[in-house]
Structure 1
Amino acid sequence: MAVSATVAAVALSAASVTPASAEGGPCGQGGSGSLGGSGSATGSIGTALPWITGAPDGGVPRLTGRTKAVEMVTGPGSPNDTIKRFNVSGTDLGIMWDNGNADGRHDVLVAFGDTVGDCGTDGDDWRSNVLLRSSDTNLADGIRIDSSPLSAPNRSKQIIRGFGIPGEYTIIPTAGVAVGGVQYVRVMSVRSWDTPGNWTTLYSVLAYSTDNGENWQLDPATVRAGIDGIDIPGIPAITPGNTKFQMSAFVDGHDGYIYEYGTPSGRHGSALLARVPGTQIRDLTAYRYWNGSTWVADLGEAVPVIESPVSELSVQWNSYLNKYVAMYTDTSNSLVIRQADRLEGPWSGTQTILSGVLVPSLYGGFMHPWTDGRYLEFVATTWDRYNVIYFRTDLDGLQMAATDQADRPDPATTGQARLLGVDHPEGDEVIDGPAPAGQ
């Protein structure tokens, strides 16, 4: 997933190498085991992520207001039939990027985090990450999945594995970008899931694929250690400060540079900004960092461009707003956006486009790379469903000056958005939703 919640957060706890056992999990109460290390699971994710409750769920929230839930991307009730086609019954994140016409195909690649399959088997067929592909250009009605890298018929394979160092627990994708037909994904190596919104990482690193996401390799030279001073066998010495680049968001500046926003593990850090010539994306010495006025080589001089708390960040240009849009989960588990004229900022105040009051346990909002204009399409996950939902937001009226620093109120608290109910896959079960505060 990312359990991501891309994933979850911050303080390193040397004692928390093994997750505590817990009731619940995406394959039902109690789970069936525990996760193994180095991206090869031997049991249920339920014992590893104690804040997940219930089995994979396909309930689509019915909302009023500018944001609507369109469909489930994965799991029960998904038109993509990911359970039968890919043995994906529960997963999260759905980090999306344009593949740059790799191998003569124009696809959107979608990377997911911790994934379960057949809940009736030992270990629930857990995988640390999987990838799906889509060439669907009609964004208004959802996203149709064409294919996935497979390890067997109808089974998506784990695409990226870690270095297998001691304590490595799971490998979670946080951002993707294509450069010259090569796919790059920044992943984080999770040592432990701690409390909700907090987890411990060993490192982040770039993985790359030259065959449209089918096969991947890690580049050890791009490792950013998750703990200053940590010794990772076989990995070059790491610059202090790399703990601030454990999770990422990529933007192709179309100026020869790839821009990378970096945040610490979890949901409580600020976002820094780096850029690198696209042809040198695997050379950490070529990265330059924004210090508030110019680009510098010293990561230690970087200053936040988006102040904390920022998590599971997604950034891209929108022609309707005529601004860059940054989307992330805030501390109330709502999805917010900010707007800016330049990637360096300044960034506007926040606008809530999907309230955690209406869609509880929400996290991981990632924009579709082909979305543009008045309607903004994106995906998000909830812990109770442990599956990815496709949403669409009307941006009319949301234009905001980058210099306007005032945060706008949550529309769920003003009556502009309400949850009417939840439509389940069978179509015969509707759960009436509560009116938001103030209703």
Structure 2
Amino acid sequence: MATPASAATGGPCGQGGSGSGSLGSSGSSGSATGSLDKALPWITGAPDGALPRLSGKTKAIEMVTGPGSPNDTIARFNVSGTDLGIMWDNGNAGGQHDVLMAFGDTVGDCDSPGDDWRSNVLFRSSDTNLADGMRIDSSPLDRPNHSRQVIKGFGIPGEYTVIPTAGISVGTTQYARFMSVKSWDSPGKWTTLYSAIAVSTDNGETWTADPTTVRANVAGIDIPGIAAVTPGNDNFQMSAFVDGKDGFVYEYGTPSGRNGGARLGRVAYAQILNLNAYQYWNGTGWGADIGQAKPVIEAPVSELQVQWNDYLHKYVAMYTDATNSIVIRQADRLEGPWSGTQTILSGLLVPSLYGGFMHPWSKGQYLEFVGTTWDRYNVIYFRTDLNGLQMKAADQADRPDPATTGEAKLLGVDRPSEATPILQAPQGQ
């Protein structure tokens, strides 16, 4: 496992930072230099709770994690900084209907040795009132008020951190695809050793990484029983799961980094751990060769999530684009065609943005989702009014960023300790 940043210059708490920015768990932008031989990426300061105030269709509702969060994640879970927040329905595991929420690299006390760093943590929420935020009920703990790392990877040489990228329940069993990061490279690029699936049968409390699900991305990985690198594995290092409601789990795959396109595979529910049972969309039909998978959403796609939307009557793909904005596309079928993009949260208004993940219980006119910024290094809860955003799948024209048309503006930023905004946007911005 990765080594905490006890002697690092930089690191998620920003100690000794250069002001260059951060790559976060997803390498959104900024310095290509990580702490401890790239084990952890930089951020510019300590975890932050600054909440942007926005006009337009998308509003920031609250901080999910860190300073200023109504969930008090610092005191309850020793989570002061984290990112991502991938959400999925738990399938009523154990008779408890929850949304599970998986996070990436996490820090606790920034004054403690190593910043109390963990590769990932998990929260649970049964909150059904999505309009006012997201109340967190519990988290797997290793001691009182301390969330533990839930997915441990295989601990092979060069495995610096393991980051969840997708989650789904099949029945009441939870499956999380994760990537093993070898190095943080230039901005927006990183190298993975492999991706694999971890399994939980107790509502996310404990997880076991399954070696038979490894898609090796680097030659020479020493895990017993793992096959050599297969051409096409590189295109499925990060994932997005969708329940097709047709007996199949669908898995979108993207390469490590932020510059690849999205490809599509599927597997019968009962065979999700059997890589030999997967089929891949080759542009005209389904085939067994992962190397023949064709992009269904063109590059660049990063931190992709896909789910059905009952208001738009379309599948919605949400991801971070090349401008560090969160965009959506719409489609009638999972394999596409996909519409042009619509920017629902502009990187011009919320800089250093990445990781848009939709709430699985979102229904009706409003779409709830979360996003992260590397300067806050915490997760923000957003809500978008979908009225007027309907697009036909065949409409391939990208819509203009509402921040450039004046339809959306940054009105200010509120810090948890201040009653008035600390930033006023220039007129017309």
TM-superposed CA distance for 1:24, in Å, is 4.1
Deviation track 1:44-88 (CA, whole Å, cap 9, x = no partner) reads 789755541111000100000000000000000000000000000
Give the corresponding residue for 2:336: 345
TM-superposed CA distance for 1:373, in Å, is 1.5
Inter-CA distance 132–61: structure 2 relative to 1 (3 Å threshold): same
Give the corresponding residue for 2:67: 76
Distance 1:308 1:374 in 2: 29
Alignment of 1:199-210 (within 5 A): 199-210=190-201
TM-superposed CA distance for 1:25, in Å, is 4.0
Deviation track 1:149-176 (CA, whole Å, cap 9, x = no partner) reads 0000000000010111110100100000
Give the corresponding residue for 2:261: 270
TM-superposed CA distance for 1:354, in Å, is 0.1
Distance 1:138 1:212 in 2: 21
The answer to whether the aligner puts 1:113 opposite 2:104 as a matched pair is yes
Give the corresponding residue for 1:232: 222
Give the corresponding residue for 1:8: none
The answer to whether the aligner puts 1:187 opposite 2:178 as a matched pair is yes
Contact 2:35 2:42 in 1 (8 A): no
Distance 1:127 1:58 in 2: 20
Contact 1:30 1:47 in 2 (8 A): no
Which secondary structure state, in structure 1, belongs to the residue aligned with residue 256 of structure 2?
coil
Inter-CA distance 156–46: structure 2 relative to 1 (3 Å threshold): farther
Contact 2:240 2:253 in 1 (8 A): yes
The answer to whether the aligner puts 1:138 opposite 2:124 as a matched pair is no
One-letter code aligned to 2:226: P
The answer to whether the aligner puts 1:163 opposite 2:163 as a matched pair is no
Which secondary structure state, in structure 2, belongs to the residue aligned with residue 140 of structure 1?
helix
Which secondary structure state, in structure 2, belongs to the residue aligned with residue 220 of structure 1?
strand
Inter-CA distance 50–247: structure 2 relative to 1 (3 Å threshold): closer
Deviation track 1:73-117 (CA, whole Å, cap 9, x = no partner) reads 000000000000000000000000000000111000000000000
Alignment of 1:40-55 (within 5 A): 48-55=39-46
TM-superposed CA distance for 1:300, in Å, is 1.5
Inter-CA distance 435–417: structure 2 relative to 1 (3 Å threshold): farther
Inter-CA distance 407–230: structure 2 relative to 1 (3 Å threshold): farther
One-letter code aligned to 1:272: R
TM-superposed CA distance for 1:196, in Å, is 2.2
Which secondary structure state, in structure 2, belongs to the residue aligned with residue 279 of structure 1?
helix
TM-superposed CA distance for 1:404, in Å, is 0.5
TM-superposed CA distance for 1:214, in Å, is 0.4
- The alignment's TM-score, normalised by the length of structure 1, stands at 0.90
Which secondary structure state, in structure 1, belongs to the residue aligned with residue 94 of structure 2?
helix
Which secondary structure state, in structure 2, belongs to the residue aligned with residue 300 of structure 1?
helix
Inter-CA distance 48–119: structure 2 relative to 1 (3 Å threshold): same
Distance 2:4 2:183 in 1: 6
Distance 1:111 1:235 in 2: 28
TM-superposed CA distance for 1:141, in Å, is 0.3
One-letter code aligned to 1:384: D
1:26 to 12, 18, 22: 12
Distance 2:126 2:217 in 1: 35
Contact 2:38 2:183 in 1 (8 A): no
Give the corresponding residue for 2:345: 354
Contact 1:100 1:178 in 2 (8 A): yes
Alignment of 1:223-302 (within 5 A): 223-227=214-218, 229-238=219-228, 239-302=230-293
Give the corresponding residue for 1:3: none
TM-superposed CA distance for 1:408, in Å, is 0.5
Which secondary structure state, in structure 1, belongs to the residue aligned with residue 212 of structure 2?
helix
Distance 1:429 1:54 in 2: 21
Give the corresponding residue for 1:383: 374
Distance 2:258 2:305 in 1: 14
One-letter code aligned to 1:271: A
Inter-CA distance 44–125: structure 2 relative to 1 (3 Å threshold): farther
One-letter code aligned to 2:99: V
Contact 1:25 1:55 in 2 (8 A): no
Distance 2:4 2:113 in 1: 20
The answer to whether the aligner puts 1:87 opposite 2:78 as a matched pair is yes
TM-superposed CA distance for 1:236, in Å, is 2.0
The answer to whether the aligner puts 1:335 opposite 2:359 as a matched pair is no
Give the corresponding residue for 2:118: 127
One-letter code aligned to 2:290: L
Inter-CA distance 394–331: structure 2 relative to 1 (3 Å threshold): same
Contact 1:224 1:246 in 2 (8 A): yes
Which secondary structure state, in structure 2, belongs to the residue aligned with residue 328 of structure 1?
strand
One-letter code aligned to 2:107: V
Contact 1:91 1:386 in 2 (8 A): yes
Inter-CA distance 421–45: structure 2 relative to 1 (3 Å threshold): farther
Unaligned 5+ segments in structure 1 are 1-16, 32-42
One-letter code aligned to 2:48: D
Distance 2:177 2:165 in 1: 6
TM-superposed CA distance for 1:232, in Å, is 3.0
Inter-CA distance 391–120: structure 2 relative to 1 (3 Å threshold): same
Distance 2:114 2:401 in 1: 40
Which secondary structure state, in structure 1, belongs to the residue aligned with residue 193 of structure 2?
strand
TM-superposed CA distance for 1:193, in Å, is 1.1
TM-superposed CA distance for 1:195, in Å, is 2.2
Which secondary structure state, in structure 2, belongs to the residue aligned with residue 320 of structure 1?
coil
Inter-CA distance 373–390: structure 2 relative to 1 (3 Å threshold): same
Distance 2:358 2:41 in 1: 28
- The alignment's TM-score, normalised by the length of structure 2, stands at 0.92
Give the corresponding residue for 2:412: 421
TM-superposed CA distance for 1:26, in Å, is 3.4
Inter-CA distance 231–50: structure 2 relative to 1 (3 Å threshold): closer
Aligned CA RMSD, in angstroms, stands at 2.0
Contact 1:199 1:265 in 2 (8 A): yes
Inter-CA distance 47–291: structure 2 relative to 1 (3 Å threshold): closer
TM-superposed CA distance for 1:194, in Å, is 1.4
